[in-house]
Amino acid sequence: MHSFARYLVFFQYIGTKYSGVVKGPPHNLEKRGVQDYLEDAIQKLKPVNPVSLSISSRTDTGVHALSNSAHFDLQRRDDKPPFTEDVVVQALNFHLKTEQIRITRARRVPADFHARYRAQSRTYVYRLALGSSHYSLLPLTDGELCWSLSNTELQFLELTFTSRSFLYKQVRRLTGALVAVGQGKLSIPRLKHLLEVRDSLAYPQGMAAPAQGLFLTKVDYEETDLQPSEEQRPSTSNSKDGCT
């Protein structure tokens, strides 16, 4: 059936107002996740099939993304041809309106592709402001602190973490531990012990870095996993967009 297509979309967002990237609690419509808004936008494309978005990388409340990814299926009515990738990007961004969420690109992928399980690596960056007179290190997007800064020549330290997958709060805990070592609040032997025991319960309470300074910057895939099958390839007819 030519009307069915699976799309991989890459998207970015400022996470401050959302309850993380996944759906918010169904009983609390005031605190919704990024997924809620993306699925609302997909629904406005009027697919025949139920809308379900599978997100590659979970981020918590307050965490931002320069590039997260997800896949979804879309089957158009009356056996109409699939939307082109450019149309998917433009249409979803139009329906997202003023939300702090934007689709950056889309790829049509094989029907068995999965955004989460096919991901080869994920990269997070934690940004810290150095030289602030504030009692704490300043996350880049903490607006309440930014307005009161007296030093306008701040330097930023970026900590980059890349892995195929991460444990819950792993990046924030690693960042918090490194900052604690720099501040003399955690010794090197104690940090080595925390890494060796591999027990999240052993991690000191309250030491994890705040969410506001954390960014998911990249989700990588093997190019061969993204290639559509022959029957999914656009037609080579006279149609300009390949949809016939």
Instruction: Give the active site residues.
Output: 60
Is there a contact between 225 and 6 (Cβ–Cβ < 8 Å)?
no
Dihedral class, residue 133 (left if φ above 0, else alpha if ψ from -120 to 50, else beta): alpha
- Alpha-carbon distance of 22 to 243, in angstroms, equals 32
Is there a contact between 208 and 169 (Cβ–Cβ < 8 Å)?
yes
- Alpha-carbon distance of 182 to 188, in angstroms, equals 10
Task: Find all residues with CB under 8 Å of 73, minimum gap 6, and list them.
Answer: 4, 5, 6, 7, 47, 49, 52
- Alpha-carbon distance of 176 to 182, in angstroms, equals 10
Is there a contact between 53 and 39 (Cβ–Cβ < 8 Å)?
yes
Task: Find all residues with CB under 8 Å of 92, minimum gap 6, and list them.
Answer: 9, 38, 41, 42, 45, 103
- Alpha-carbon distance of 17 to 47, in angstroms, equals 28
Residues in the chain: 244
Is there a contact between 33 and 39 (Cβ–Cβ < 8 Å)?
no
